[in-house]
Amino acid sequence: MLTFVFRPEPPYDFAKTIRRFCRVTDGTVRIVGDTVYRTTRVEGKPVLLEIRSTSGNADSAELFVRVCAPSENGLTETEALTLKAKLESMLAIAGPWRAFSDWLLRHPRLGTLGVAMRGLRLWLDGDPFESLIRTIVSQQLSTSFALTLCSRLVETAGDVLEWNGERFSVFPTPERLASLDENRLRSLQFSRQKSEYVLTVSRAAPDRRWSWDQLDEMADEEAVAFLTGFRGIGRWTAECYLLLGRGRQDALPAADLGLRKAIGLLYGLQRLPSEAEVRTLAEEWAPWRGYVALYLWESLAVGGLAHPPISVDIHG
């Protein structure tokens, strides 16, 4: 089978990094012990990946990625090279993570976070379109119900790969989602408004009203302005997409409720900070605001930080 080996610059904590994917229930990600099975697409072709690390040490991580499906001859040489480049981004092999970790550990207020989350990396969703749709579906919903809706989308319009007698789901293409109508989405318990948003974005992608490469060439604020020009994409959605779908290190979803809760706990605030207050507090985190947000989200998911918070005057 086609196999790639990656040796990322430390720190790279595989166990911490895959932890948030334990919550994915739609069959596109499956964790078995210390091995992750993920589906993605290469030039539109569904691919099943087996990902594991040979070391539990964040300072000597080595990742092995095996293509389980399609078969060994299922990818052309060009597709294999495309997949390798995609994996370097998707699995956060490349990027300024060492510099971020060093900065975080030295930070007077965030150093505790840096110790607790050292080596955590941002794995991207399997595809830019998938990430954007997942983010739209998550708007103003509980995490559990958003995951349920995504599972229904995948079951309705996604592809299936079979390997070793098991079935793995692949997120739908823009064309497949665009072929659905509002009534079909409504039957899956999508609201009328959310059905419209999903269909609008799905139909814009194949119509080439935007391209993912075009977005990558834009600065963060320019990309936010572009994305929010589409009905159904607000600032929170745009910033979450830029962070989780494109790995933008400084994209800050300041309106996010979970992020606001985590900041309140870390800074010892007596109330939930507003979006504006989060942006003010986060000014000193630049150019790492997105990465800090990831670490704060994860600290909340695992039950907070082990050390007492530092109080701060958010009006100061």
pLDDT per residue, tens digit, the chain (316 aa), is 899 999 999 999 999 999 999 888 888 999 999 999 999 999 999 999 999 998 889 999 999 999 999 976 789 999 999 999 999 999 999 899 999 999 999 999 999 999 999 999 999 988 889 999 999 999 999 889 999 999 999 999 999 999 999 999 999 999 999 999 999 999 999 999 999 999 999 998 866 666 777 888 999 999 999 999 998 999 999 999 999 999 999 999 999 999 999 999 988 899 999 999 999 999 999 999 999 999 999 999 887 553 333 333 444 3
Supply the range of the domain harboring residue 64: 3-116
50 and 140 part of one domain: no
Same domain, 200 and 234: yes
Taking the CA atoms of residue 130, residue 135, residue 139 and residue 144 in that order, the dihedral angle to the nearest 10 degrees is 80
Q: Is residue 161 part of a domain?
A: yes
59 and 14 in one domain? yes
* Structural domain includes residue 39: yes
Cβ count near 187 (within 10 Å)? 12
Q: What letter represents residue 248's amino acid?
A: R
Inside any domain, residue 224: yes
Based on the structure, what is the number of domains in the chain? 2
277 within some domain: no
**Residue 100 domain-assigned (yes or no):** yes
195 found inside a domain: yes
Residue 13, in any domain of the structure: yes
Whether residue 139 is found in the same domain as residue 88:
no
Whether residues 112 and 171 share a domain: the answer is no
CATH number of domain containing 73: 3.30.310.20
